[in-house]
Structure 1
């Protein structure tokens, strides 16, 4: 199969899956908002920066590094080495995940009181900690298949994860209603664990069954050490980038409710606004990005292959096509959300506040959807440190808007900061890629 057809096929499969899971997640968010209220959703969202931080530390960098290494090995005909890389990555990520689980459980109260500023989050963090060993297995196997440009297993596992998450929460809630037990938002966190367990079991079954490894390859210690060094060397910038960015995002997430209180709101009002923004408005804005996220996933190994072959003309054509297509998609979504944003908030979420946020955030769609693919291309050509710098600059703009604008303008100041941050990523990526492609052609 040609590279172009592989990208199109993989993007199609991931996009269909992405839309399906986001569609389910969209109504799942509505269910959560109706069941636990805006403050409950805000509390649930408050632990997500910790979840993202721990996932970045344990799995995210290795997954991307593994995908790139596997793509390189397959281009060079080294199938056995690609399998050895997967085995090595599983050992590394599961070990780190278990350590993170223990640390998170031991210091859950400290993290909740000191960083999240809400003692109710301690119980949620303990529950959340059990998800990471399973998430590491899931992400590594998906990274391996992405490197092969095979999206069937990752797409199916994504569906299984989402269905298990939603169904488990719904069944526990129904059980509580029938037996007079009132469950809090902690059952939504428990749903994350159910999703990761089932998806990781599916991935393991797929890799060990027909069409997978069949049997795990025997790896000598020297080979394991060699692959470990390669994966760590590639993943350290990616992991450091993700961890630092998630630290900044955690600061941002924690600061928003606090700065809203400085603006003059009560704790409950601040959490409600935070819950509406992050649990209702932003998922709606991000819903169409299932397409661009799918393109981004397929682009990284494809760009790595093209770079290895030194086919600069093909790389330039790919960058242009992807950029123009994403801008076009973002512009259409911008118009639709400007037109129907208030209706979505009022009718679907029963929140006029959510509708107002959707309309304001719709202006960043052309940049937001294009940025995912541009950053993936930058990572694909091996400039992981640069992508970290670009993302850090963007997030710094958002944090500045939290600290400086929210106390003066309220949440509206943060929305302006989000738009400015996406514009920064867009311009920085375009300027660098234009410079890189010109230099390579000379």
Structure 2
């Protein structure tokens, strides 16, 4: 299969999977918003910065490093070396995720009250902590298959994870109604854990034969472990720092909304509408660009290795034009239908206003995903880190300085400015590289 065919096939499979899971997630969000209302959804969303931070520490960097190593080993027909690297990755991520689980369970109340500023999050954090070991296994196995440019197992596991999550929440909700007239948002976290367990179990089952066929002696694991750590430690450090900044941003929004004059309940409701209804709606079309980005990184790395600047330049131009065009059409669609989506689908006129305002970020948001992937594929991970960090700092600045003056609208302006800055900087980096 040619490089172009592999890119298109992988993108198609991941896009179809992404659209399916987002459709499922879209109706799931509607169920959550109607069942637990805006404040409950806001409370649920408040724990996800902690989830993202722990996942970055335990698995995210290792997954990317594993994909790069596997891709290089497979190109040299070294299947056994690739599997040994996977075994090391699984060992490291499970150890790290178990440590994260224990830490979160012992410090949930302090994190909830001191960092998230809402002690009601403590039980949600404890429940969420059980998902990390399973998410680590799932992540590593997906990284292995992405390195081989095989998307079937990651795609099916993603669909399975989403289905089991939604079904579990619905099942727990029905059971809860038999014992109480009011069901707590904690069942949504139980659904998250069930989804990760199912995805990890399926992925491990699909890989068990490959793992069993390629076993190594104790000393043989040191070589892939050294390479894996050399690549993953900087990536993990970058992801952790970015997620710390994102966590600061997420936790600060409800607090700064109170500075604007809202009560705690109102602040959580606004935050829940923004992150649980409006933002997922805006992010829905990114299923396409995320799929392109996943397949772009190894493709760009291959082209760079052949030193074919002409092919690389054509690829970059096609990707940028396609993603920006998609963003323009989505911007127009959300601008025209935003109020209708918020009022009719989410039963929240406020969500409609947020969707309408955020529609202007679509061209930049969808393009930035692929721009960052291209830069990472070129090996310029430090550059992409600085670009993303600066974009986050712009958003955080809007949280602290614009929200107290203009309310949530100030944050939406900051989001637009952030995406615009990232687009301009990333395109400048690529333009300079391709001119060499």
TM, length-normalised to structure 2: 0.98
C-alpha deviations, 1:67-117, integer Å up to 9, x for none?
111111122222221111111111111111001110010111110111000
Residue 95 of structure 2 is matched in structure 1 by: 95
**Corresponding residue to 2:434 among 397, 421, 437:** 437
Is the Cα–Cα contact under 8 Å of residues 73 and 79 in structure 1 kept in the other structure?
yes
- Pairing partner for 1:314 from 311, 315, 327: 311
Q: Provide the residue aligned with 1:185 in structure 2.
A: 185
**Structure 2 alignment gaps of length 5 or more:** none
Aligned equivalent of 1:261: 258
**Is the counterpart of residue 241 in structure 1 residue 269 in structure 2?**
no
In the alignment, the residues of structure 1 paired with residue 353 and residue 227 of structure 2 have an alpha-carbon distance, to the nearest angstrom, of 48
Structure 2 counterpart of 1:423: 420
Instruction: Describe the shift of the 1:311–1:348 C-alpha distance in structure 2 as closer, same or farther (beyond 3 A).
Output: same
SS in 1 for 2:340: helix
Show structure 1 runs of 5+ residues with no match. Answer: none
What's the counterpart of residue 160 of structure 2?
Answer: 160
The Cα shift of 1:386 comes to 1.1
Partner of 2:228: 231
Checking the alignment, whether the CA contact within 8 Å between 1:70 and 1:82 is kept in structure 2 is: yes
Are 2:109 and 2:122, in contact at CA under 8 Å, matched by a contact in 1? Answer: yes
CA shift, 1:180, in A, is 3.6
Indicate conservation of the 8 Å contact 2:83/2:211, yes or no. Answer: no
Residues of 2 paired with 1:62 and 1:438: CA distance?
Answer: 32
Q: Establish whether residue 294 from structure 1 lines up as the match of residue 277 from structure 2.
A: no
Over 3 Å counting, the alpha-carbon distance change for 1:216 and 1:57 in structure 2 is farther
Partner of 1:220: 217
SS in 1 for 2:182: coil
Which of these residues, 316, 323, 341, is aligned with residue 344 of structure 1? 341
Q: Distance in 2 between matches of 1:181 and 1:345?
A: 27
* d(CA) in 2 for partners of 1:125, 1:434: 44
Q: How many Å separate the matches in 2 of 1:415 and 1:401?
A: 8
CA deviation after TM superposition for structure 1 residue 178, in Å: 3.2
1:261-296 per-position Cα deviation (integer Å, ceiling 9, x unaligned): 000010000000000000000000000000000000
Counterpart for residue 66 of structure 1:
66
Offset, 1:311: 2.5
2:129 matches 1:132:
no
Q: Summarize deviations over 1:321-376 as a string: whole Å, max 9, x none.
A: 11111011111100100010100000000000000000000101001001111111
Answer yes or no: is the 8 Å Cα contact 1:60–1:139 preserved in 2. Answer: yes
Match of 2:9 in 1: 9
Equivalent in the alignment of 2:402 = 405
C-alpha contact 1:72 1:304 (8 A) present in aligned 2:
no
Cα displacement (A) at 1:183: 2.5
Shift in Å, 1:242: 1.1
Spell out, residue by residue over 1:373-408, the C-alpha distance to the aligned partner (whole angstroms, 9 max, x if none): 111111111111111111100000000000000000
- The verdict on how the C-alpha distance between 1:179 and 1:85 changes in structure 2, with shifts beyond 3 A counting, is same
Q: Which residue in the other structure is 1:85 paired with? A: 85
Q: How far apart are residue 32 of structure 1 and its match?
A: 0.5
Aligned residues: 436
Tell me, yes or no, if the aligned pair for 1:277 and 1:354 is still in contact at 8 Å.
yes
Q: After alignment, is 70-79 or 389-398 more displaced?
A: 70-79
Q: CA RMSD in A?
A: 1.1
SS at match of 2:150: coil
The match for 1:195 is: 195
Helix, strand or coil for the counterpart of 1:107? helix
How many angstroms does 1:214 deviate by?
6.0
1:184-205 per-position Cα deviation (integer Å, ceiling 9, x unaligned): 0000011110000000000001
- 1:113-159 CA-partner distances (Å, limit 9, x unpaired): 11000000011100000000000000000011011111010000000
Q: C-alpha distance in 1, partners of 2:67/2:383?
A: 19
Distance in 1 separating the partners of 2:63 and 2:333: 34
1:142 is matched with: 142
Task: Answer whether contact 1:72 1:308 (CA < 8 A) is retained.
Answer: no
**Contact 1:238–1:388 at 8 Å: present in 2 too?**
no
Q: How has the CA–CA distance of structure 1 residues 421 and 227 changed in structure 2, closer, same or farther, with 3 Å as cutoff?
A: same
Are 2:55 and 1:55 equivalent residues in the alignment? Answer: yes
TM-score of the superposed pair, with normalisation by structure 1: 0.97
Distance 1:233 1:379 in 2: 16
